[in-house]
Structure 1
């Protein structure tokens, strides 16, 4: 206990060991799906699923441990959704590169990402982000979480006519997710500790009786990681045809991870001058995890927006992250148990957090349209393009253009012009 207090400074952050452990378990349960989804997606690209499963657990544990001990942040890392789909379905299956070359591209982008962080350029980028865009990042991530949650619960479904529509509310998944959300809100209002975790557990237990969930045992030996370990092809990644892929990985990693870190850290009250050194360390932690993951054999690793669930449960220090890391290591041997929690059981927690994150909208200066409109564009484009990075891109471009044509260009930090220009170049010459 004394060691934990000394390392994580629990009292200083107004938290305790129990709260941090519950928060860590909450975060883990909301993101545990990645250890099954990531092997499935990368497996479609021809990668051995068993090795990818092990690589996913190991890099999540390693990256999150560094975040915990080095930055003392309650934020977890794991291979990013969206990036893994781009890796498999665009780079490998559509563009025709081998998965080894794609891993090489992830490695090169990770090295660039780390250099940008080490030399302080990433910090300059962050300081250049306008206050309205910073607020919009939090709101946009909230909307993004809401869409993910509603989709996982089956409440929102795809539609060829309207893109999204109401799902089948007669399905037990949708009903259980709705009940789980109400349980969480009620318990939170009554100030019951661990309300989010209780809601997740309640839906999971109910799923065995009403949704056909099955128990597949407790223990299984982890597969070998040899088929993907150090199998990246860096030489192929440096050829002309795949350099565009490196740029896309780099830009998405830079703004996806930075946006998520800022949004979750702000929600935890950690983006204050006295604690900015820790934020800088968190940037270094997630930078190093990218190329480490490529060595193990998985797509880009990033900070997880699901960490917001643990923050809402009270997590404020690295002990929350360390708990998540330990649970990912356990999954190497307890993968059947980790797979028991269905996506619709964690969806209520994500939707609850998403609702709370929308209150940041009150901080936007709505009377100043050159600030409010870019913020709205940033927040709306994140869920509607299913990408934090795209939301940031359109937000920066809109902000720069509006300031320029309304005679307010002097209010714009030079970094905004640079970032907006880079994104504009990407859209014009590379595409979305």
Structure 2
């Protein structure tokens, strides 16, 4: 106990081993749903489901352990919602990369994130990009997750006379989603501990009640073909789309984590932990590509552990160890159906959309790029394209209205790169 207290400086944080471990347990049961959710989303990229489960557990455990010893903060690192959707639906489904090439993009993005976190670039980028565009990225990701959740839950479908249409609520999948969503909302509003875990259990039970067979129910055996660690492919590294993917993912990683880490260290009134926590975050994101997952982020759910009294890295270490223990339940992960995951995507999407309340939309030169960025992410089914459109429109409108001094040089360079990407790939005669 003394050595643990010395490593994590428990006395200086006015906490105890019991309090820290208890907070870590609370954090684990608040976030453990990510194992099933992330694996199901990654599997839609073509990645083996059982391999995705193992990778999710591995990167979550490693991320928490890195945070414990590098950041000494009660911050939980797991694959981020929104970024995992970007991995599957943008990099693979929209941009045409294989999941192995997408892992290479994650690895390079993680390396760039490390450079940013260990230098003054984090401050440079954070001040160079307008806050309204950073907020718009979060809101756009929220709408994207909301749409994916509605689609996975069979609540919306492809329309005959429109892009989307209401789903057939008399089908077992849609009915099971509605019931699970209602349960999820009640649990969430009442702030029941482990609400998303209970949501998954409810949806899984309903699959037996309605005789719904999950797609991954047969994926219970780990074979050599299931291994996803060190499967990165750099075959496309010389092509421009590869670097557009890297650039887009890096921006989401950097801006989202800067905001989250700052919020977490402010919550526990330890701003001096910011630098170490961000560096732990960056190393963890880099390792995600090596292990075979979308990047890890500092989760919002970390506040549950902090509210339970977590103040040091011992909280994160406890959560990391419990992720390792959760590997014992891998054989049962394939029985979790889409309608058990859909309500979680819907609720998280709505929470991210609420970031819109902080956006100042009275300035037309800023509101138009932000709104276009938001709507184009779900409409194009591409986070990269949505970000690109917003970042191109912002300096364009500023220059057209004679307010070019409001455009920073880093933002201008980013915008020009995005514009070149569109010119090369979307103009037929080039």
- Shorter-chain TM-score bucket reads 0.7 to 0.9
Q: Please identify, of 133-142 and 269-278, the stretch whose mean Cα deviation from structure 2 is larger.
A: 269-278
Q: Pick closer, same or farther for the CA change 1:425–1:29 going to 2, 3 Å.
A: same
Per the TM alignment, residue 168 of structure 1 is displaced from its structure 2 partner at its CA by: 1.7
Does the residue aligned with 1:212 lie in a helix, a strand or coil? coil
Identify the match of residue 302 of structure 1 among 272, 295, 304. 295
Backbone CA RMSD of aligned residues? 4.5
For the residues of structure 1 that align with 2:12 and 2:350, how far apart are their CA atoms?
29
> 1:160 deviation in Å?
5.9
Greater CA drift, 60-69 or 168-177? 60-69
The match for 1:427 is: 422
- TM-aligned CA distance change 1:42 to 1:28, over 3 Å: same
Contact 1:397–1:421 (Cα < 8 Å) also in 2: yes
Structure-to-structure mapping, 1:1-400, within 5 angstroms: 6=10, 21-38=25-42, 41-43=45-47, 54-67=54-67, 69-71=69-71, 72=73, 73-77=75-79, 80-84=84-88, 107-108=107-108, 110-159=110-159, 161-213=161-213, 222-223=222-223, 230=230, 242-261=238-257, 278=273, 280-281=275-276, 283-289=278-284, 291-296=286-291, 298=292, 301-303=294-296, 307-308=299-300, 310=301, 325-326=320-321, 328-330=323-325, 332-400=327-395
Q: How far apart are 1:140 and its partner, in Å?
A: 2.2
Normalised by the size of structure 2, how large is the TM-score? Answer: 0.75
CA contact (8 A) 1:286 1:302 kept: no
Distance in 2 separating the partners of 1:177 and 1:312: 28
* 1:366 match: secondary structure: coil
User: What per-residue deviation string (whole Å, max 9, x for no partner) do you get for residues 269-326 of structure 1?
Assistant: 6578976665554554454345534444x36x32369x45x36867676778657645
CA offsets 1:238-277 (integer angstroms, 9 cap, x no match): 6xxx3425413321321232344356568x6657897666
Q: Which runs of 5+ in 1 are unaligned?
A: none
C-alpha deviation, 1:76, in angstroms: 1.3
- Contact 1:400–1:412 (8 Å) recurs in 2: yes
Q: Point out the more displaced range, 243-252 or 32-41.
A: 32-41
Offset at residue 155 of structure 1 (A): 0.6
Equivalent pairs counted in the alignment come to 411
Evaluate the alpha carbon distance shift between residue 201 and residue 61 of structure 1 in structure 2; reply closer, same or farther with a 3 A threshold.
same
> Could you say if the C-alpha distance between residues 425 and 360 of structure 1 is closer, same or farther in structure 2, counting changes exceeding 3 Å?
same
SS of residue paired to 2:33: helix
Q: Distance in 1 between matches of 2:277 and 2:162?
A: 40
Q: What do the CA deviations read for 1:348-380 (whole angstroms, capped 9, x no partner)?
A: 233223334433333322322223222222322
